[in-house]
Structure 1
């Protein structure tokens, strides 16, 4: 646990504003990253793994590393409190190879296909070449044409992600603005004197002062709250990583690394094999002269 918190603190010093955790344990016997787990190794259930992550992150809040916890669904798929941010797919984080981007791309293809089918039905309806049933379908398509593809996509994605929303943990390393939801990394944030976790960025605070009293914070009360400015500190001016970047095709993706280990029998089921496999992985990282999946004989032969 201290190692994970140390990594979060390192990310915060590097200027990162958020961290996304999917509490999704692998199936028993499945190699997710390391090849060949020990037979006695236990695989946690989803709820146990989520509890472990949350206990670690709550400790991070106490140590001022983490400022807030939520989940992907609550933050991006619905407006909470006085949020004025638009619910749109453009705000969603995109991680290549992750679960939801692949689902989103399939849904976009489906939406385009339906749109093309409706267009063809409309053209046939204009020529009088279709029966009554397709005509009704065309009329239904016209009535719903004002609904944007973005709105449809968010609704479809939301239905899929909602049942597992608690497992899609979103960690805020910086304070988000409660109106525009932008994470603030520099300048001044305006903190509500009455609400503990209500913050506004500079632009939203200026807009707040120009609103009518009934639209100002809090919108559900006649008594309006005041704000105090607070300078955003803790992030160095230079967030560039000073360590050398080591590039290798074996570490571009999780599957590439797993294929390397499987092809060369770099196993982690015993301590002895784990030590040897770790040494060979470092060799590939620094030398990078072996073909992926090819075995090497001689002094680098796996044990």
Structure 2
């Protein structure tokens, strides 16, 4: 029993995305470009909002926080993945694996909560405009952001505790390119059915509850838009459609990965790539290409040579 309770595994080995070295080089170039573009795009949004006074509103305050979370979320997995694409043997120490797992869930959960808050912000702005300034003042916004980080931390601690309490005696091969709870607990040398169900209940309930809250808020918004003017409907639909696109791209993979028991679906890797690499890249594109205020602010700052 004492031997079983010890953590014997000191490192994990990733199988990665593919064993074809030509494809690995192509993926390395593709993901490197995507990583740099994502860093620049999200940094551009943050700088633009910070240096543009008329964007100092709750909506853009939350948008800048979303860009910050995307930068963090992306940097948890992509650098290690890029390193693995260049190495024949892709390894990570046990402690680093747990750290990666912790921060992955912290930033993912924080983004889920933030997207839900952003939907509430749009609901108040469109359905209760006369009370917007009192319901969504700067103090409330800061409190909401603090709450989402607290909630993300609690969720991540639960996931990490459920993972580390298991004994790992071998094997140590993870069929993925990063450490996440489902592929890691498969390697535990004990029955993980109950742990797996607890993990699904924790992650799945958060994803589904927030997603249903988001859908409900947008249904209410769409119904209320019938009373708006044509210009008001156009502006509200433009903002809400951009937000809903981000929600769909992020929540879809999360719900697929975390609302079912452990499995060995090969499509899991593709879905994981989508929500760890593609979604953070799409967010700045969606919010800048569809948002005239942000585009005009970027042009104005460029003329003032803020980016030079």
More helix by share: 2
Asked whether the two chains share a fold, i.e. TM above 0.5, the reply is no
TM-score by length of 2: 0.22
Q: TM-score, normalised by structure 1?
A: 0.23
Higher strand share: 1
Please tell me whether Structure 1 or Structure 2 has the larger radius of gyration of its CA atoms: 1
